[in-house]
Amino acid sequence: MTMRRLRGLIVGIAVLLLATGAWAVTDKTSIAGKCMTCHKEKTPALYQQWLGSQHAAHDVTCLDCHKANRGEPDAYMHEGALIATLVTPKDCGRCHEREAKEVGQSYHATAGKILDSKDAYLAHVAGGDPVAVQGCEQCHGTKVKIDPKAPNKLSKKSWPNSGIGRINPDGSLGSCTTCHTRHAFSKAQARQPEACSKCHLGPDHPQKEVYEESKHGNAYYTHKDEMNLDAPKWVAGISYNAAPTCATCHMSATKKQKVTHDVGQRIAWTLRPPVSKYKPNHAQRRANMKDVCKSCHEKRFIEGHFHQFDATVRLYNEKFAKPAGELMAMIKKKGLMKHKAAFSNKIEWIYWELWHHEGRRARHGAAMMGPDYTWWHGMYEVAQHFYFEFLPEAEEYGDPEVNAWIEKLLSENPMHNWLDRPTDELKKEIRSGKMQKTYEKLYQGD
Ligand code: HEC
Ligand code: HEC
Ligand code: HEC
Ligand code: HEC
Ligand code: HEC
Ligand code: HEC
Ligand code: HEC
Ligand code: HEC
């Protein structure tokens, strides 16, 4: 074989390797190096974020995260390497197995499966497709699809998206950039309340606002520079003491517990549905949460908080949520509503907001020490809408059975029989403590 033919063969093999993507395996270092060299010019800020990250410090390169295997639906050739734009929990899980597993088991991972929910139905009929994509799915996650017109590239309708329960082409759920923004992927950032605040806010789940008004938020924002957010291990009472953040209570380590990426581990109730219920193993979950409080508070203080919180949840359940649900069921069963489709009648909107908006706000305020949300944005509005919008709207049907049901509730139920009585008499009952006794049974346990 002449030198020329040999050289030709080598080039040939090289071209073949390049074309099949096997090059990435045979000459990883130089290709990996090229990603940085070129993107330093093309996307300078993206490069700098990576350069300042723990990943760069530990030699984790662009290719370590973006490399893809042949046959993956979103894999394409880019500058001599087979890569994918998406870097899913499964990809991160190659190096962070525990985090990926916990994310996959968490309630967060189910957030993309909302198409059958009442909320999704409402968004599609009252709104329309684009708002479901840019509203709901930016928080909950899209099903990421491939663009049929640009093979192996992501469909513009389903990406960009970093929803918490994103359904990825590789079957994994969620997106780690949700809390660790790229390309810094910092844990210090995720420890701050802002990491949760894109989603946990607004009329139906105002955790951010509740936190900001609580003494915890107050202490955090005024002592942020003492929070030692960069500490390798971040444990209240060891690395910091000023205040808890969302992560402190729901995710971070304590002296006894490890960091968890399963945000439900410390939650006893679910405060989302019309009527709140305990989760399975709620006692263990409650114990996990109380353990967090212990680095800063003593036992009786902590138990006092949960004693009050649980009673407020039961108050909402028993006084408003259960009767309202019963009345709605009766109205539906009797076929009293004028229009057929769900949400085409006013009473359905009133009922929806009663539990989904103000009813949740009251419960979230009570859980996380936000008194303004517990009462003014919460139970105050529940009461106002229950007595002066929901019941009157039901009475509009003029159905004798419905009216008798309402009459009975308002005259016989000791929590509701105040509307027709003299103010002075009611004030006397409050002063003597008699009215408060009506609510005594809502306080249970320790
Ligand atoms: C010679 C320059 C150059 C090199 C080398 C290079 N890139 Fe790029 N890359 C670009 C440019 C320009 C774009 C944007 C235009 C495009 O999509 O082609 C881009 C786009 C991308 C995208 C987004 C593509 C999309 O459609 O979503 C990713 C991800 C990416 N590069 C990663 C990498 C990785 C990983 C490497 C190393 C294997 C690499 N790049 C090497 C120039 C380069
Ligand atoms: C620790 C893993 C990791 C590393 C290292 C990494 N990326 Fe990424 N990159 C991601 C993730 C995650 C996304 C978001 C994709 C998604 O939504 O799943 C992303 C998205 C991108 C995008 C498209 C999104 C945009 O904002 O335009 C480009 C381009 C990109 N990366 C280039 C690079 C380059 C170049 C490097 C090296 C300098 C690099 N990445 C290093 C994880 C990584
Ligand atoms: C090739 C292995 C590898 C991959 C893939 C990888 N990482 Fe890392 N990651 C590391 C190493 C090594 C460190 C530094 C040592 C440590 O903190 O464990 C690190 C550190 C981190 C940290 C802590 C940073 C800090 O502030 O201390 C976070 C958060 C993180 N990675 C998230 C991710 C996410 C999200 C992805 C996927 C988008 C990912 N990693 C993909 C290897 C990897
Ligand atoms: C701003 C981000 C955001 C938007 C926009 C959003 N959601 Fe949510 N959604 C959340 C959060 C956060 C929760 C969990 C609240 C909690 O646990 O208190 C949630 C809860 C839910 C639940 C209750 C799940 C359960 O198990 O009880 C459903 C269903 C739902 N959302 C569907 C939708 C639909 C459909 C849309 C669009 C019409 C939508 N959401 C818009 C963030 C959002
Ligand atoms: C809901 C927000 C959230 C999501 C989603 C999330 N993380 Fe984290 N992550 C955090 C917080 C908060 C910390 C810091 C915990 C601490 O040390 O206080 C953290 C810490 C880490 C660390 C540092 C090691 C440790 O355990 O302290 C790694 C690595 C990491 N995350 C990887 C991932 C990976 C991989 C994914 C996706 C599979 C992911 N994270 C998704 C919030 C999140
Ligand atoms: C001082 C600790 C603490 C802080 C700080 C805190 N939470 Fe909570 N959170 C709780 C407790 C306690 C509950 C109720 C647990 C239970 O049901 O037993 C809760 C409940 C929740 C729920 C479940 C709601 C539902 O509908 O079921 C979400 C979501 C939540 N918190 C998110 C957040 C976010 C986001 C932040 C920061 C903006 C935050 N939390 C700050 C202690 C805290
Ligand atoms: C991108 C949006 C998004 C971000 C960011 C986010 N969450 Fe969530 N979170 C949700 C959604 C949506 C749900 C409801 C899940 C469902 O419907 O399946 C939820 C549910 C929860 C729950 C209830 C879990 C349970 O088992 O009942 C807790 C607690 C929680 N999130 C805490 C956090 C904390 C703490 C952070 C920040 C460190 C955070 N989340 C960041 C969207 C988000
Ligand atoms: C990192 C420390 C820290 C942790 C963890 C912590 N707290 Fe606090 N908490 C504080 C500080 C600081 C205050 C403000 C004290 C004051 O009023 O001066 C506070 C105040 C409170 C208050 C009084 C609110 C008010 O408006 O007067 C309650 C109730 C409370 N915490 C409950 C809890 C519960 C329940 C937990 C666990 C789920 C918890 N805390 C976790 C630091 C913490």
pLDDT in tens, 298-324: 999 999 999 999 999 999 999 999 999
- Pocket of ligand 1 from Cβ distances under 6 Å: 31, 34-35, 38-39, 42, 62-63, 66, 78-79, 81, 83, 85, 153
Q: Are 162 and 178 in contact (CB under 8 A)?
A: yes
Q: Is 237 in the pocket of ligand 4 (CB under 6 A)?
A: no
Distance 124 CA to ligand 3 centre (A): 38
Distance 381 CA to ligand 8 centre (A): 27
Count of residues making up the chain: 446
pLDDT in tens, 428-437: 999 999 999 9
- Pocket of ligand 2 from Cβ distances under 6 Å: 35-36, 39, 43, 46-47, 50, 55, 60, 62, 64-66, 85-88, 162, 175, 177, 182-183, 185
Give the integer Cα–Cα distance in Å for 49 and 62: 12
Rounded to an integer, the average pLDDT of 151-171 is: 95
What's the pLDDT at 446? 61
Name the band, by pLDDT with cuts 50, 70 and 90, for residue 7.
Answer: low
What's the pLDDT at 24? 43
What's the pLDDT at 115? 85
What's the pLDDT at 30? 84
Give the integer Cα–Cα distance in Å for 162 and 360: 25
Is the pLDDT reported for residue 197 higher than 90?
Answer: yes
Rounded to an integer, the average pLDDT of 256-279 is: 98
Rounded to an integer, the average pLDDT of 55-61 is: 97
Name the band, by pLDDT with cuts 50, 70 and 90, for residue 10.
Answer: low
Give the integer Cα–Cα distance in Å for 143 and 148: 15
Name the band, by pLDDT with cuts 50, 70 and 90, for residue 5.
Answer: low
Distance 54 CA to ligand 5 centre (A): 13
Is the pLDDT reported for residue 13 higher than 70?
Answer: no
What's the pLDDT at 149? 93
Give the integer Cα–Cα distance in Å for 259 and 240: 15
Is the pLDDT reported for residue 286 higher than 90?
Answer: yes
The ligand 8 atom nearest the CA atom of 371: 26
Is the pLDDT reported for residue 174 higher than 80?
Answer: yes
Name the band, by pLDDT with cuts 50, 70 and 90, for residue 8.
Answer: low
Is the pLDDT reported for residue 231 higher than 60?
Answer: yes
Q: Is 186 in the pocket of ligand 5 (CB under 6 A)?
A: no
Q: What percent of the chain has pLDDT over 90?
A: 91
What's the pLDDT at 26? 42
Is the pLDDT reported for residue 12 higher than 70?
Answer: no
For ligand 5, atom 35, name the residue with the nearest CA. 92
What's the pLDDT at 116? 86
Which residues, 6 or more positions from 174, have their beta carbon under 8 angstroms from its beta carbon?
Answer: 89, 103, 104, 108, 109, 111, 141, 163, 164, 165, 166
Distance 385 CA to ligand 1 centre (A): 55
Is the pLDDT reported for residue 445 higher than 80?
Answer: no
For ligand 2, atom 22, name the residue with the nearest CA. 85
Is the pLDDT reported for residue 376 higher than 70?
Answer: yes
Name the band, by pLDDT with cuts 50, 70 and 90, for residue 35.
Answer: very high
Burial class (CB in 10 A: 0-12, 13-18, 19+), 408: exposed
Rounded to an integer, the average pLDDT of 285-302 is: 98
pLDDT in tens, 104-113: 999 999 999 9
Is the pLDDT reported for residue 37 higher than 50?
Answer: yes
Distance 187 CA to ligand 1 centre (A): 26
- Pocket of ligand 3 from Cβ distances under 6 Å: 54-55, 58, 60, 64-65, 87, 91-92, 94-96, 176, 180, 185-188
Using omega within 30 degrees of 0 as the cis cutoff, is the peptide bond preceding 183 cis? yes
Radius of gyration of the chain (CA): 28
Distance 60 CA to ligand 1 centre (A): 17
Is the pLDDT reported for residue 362 higher than 80?
Answer: yes
- Pocket of ligand 6 from Cβ distances under 6 Å: 193, 196, 200, 207-208, 211, 216, 244-246, 248-250, 267-272, 286, 289, 367-368
Distance 266 CA to ligand 1 centre (A): 41
Q: Is 166 in the pocket of ligand 5 (CB under 6 A)?
A: no
For ligand 7, atom 23, name the residue with the nearest CA. 264
Is the pLDDT reported for residue 203 higher than 60?
Answer: yes
Rounded to an integer, the average pLDDT of 155-161 is: 96
pLDDT in tens, 378-410: 999 999 999 999 999 999 999 999 999 999 999
What's the pLDDT at 389? 98
Question: CA angle, corner 98, sides to 92 and 103, nearest 5?
Answer: 75
pLDDT in tens, 321-335: 999 999 999 999 999
Distance 213 CA to ligand 1 centre (A): 44
The ligand 2 atom nearest the CA atom of 160: 17
Is the pLDDT reported for residue 42 higher than 50?
Answer: yes
Rounded to an integer, the average pLDDT of 408-427 is: 97
Of 107, 110, 113, 114, the residue with max ligand 4 atoms within 8 A of its CB, to mutate for a pocket test, comes to 114
List own/partner pairs for 320-325 with CB under 8 A and 24 or more apart: 320/354, 320/359, 320/382, 320/383, 320/386, 321/274, 321/275, 321/276, 321/355, 321/359, 322/275, 323/409, 323/413, 324/274, 324/351, 324/354, 324/355, 324/386, 324/390, 325/274, 325/275
